[in-house]
Amino acid sequence: MTKIYHNPRCRKSRETLQLLEEKGENIEIVLYLETSPSKEELSHIIELLGIAPIDLVRKGESIWKEQFKGKEMTPTQVINAMVKHPKLIERPIVIKNGRAALGRPPENVITIL
């Protein structure tokens, strides 16, 4: 099963989902803006991606600019901010067989299929 953390309003997310469908993947779609990942789930995703929590933040979002930009934050505080405000989570994220990839560009996910 291939899991995608998806935002249907995002072009890159739609393109990544389409790519997965074209590859014949059995897909579980997580609408993460409606069902925010838990702190544990998001921590695990970040670990699978092999990045720092701050690298998964959409720093152009107004929530980030207004509430967090320029502040010293621990990795845990960054994760907590993303859990509280899932709009801050970069997307799409695809997970398969214990591996994860960020679909920016969508072709990035091919490496884990």
Q: Show which residues are catalytic.
A: 10
For 93, the enclosing helix (H) or strand (E) is: strand 93-96
Round to whole Å and give the CA distance between 78 and 110.
28
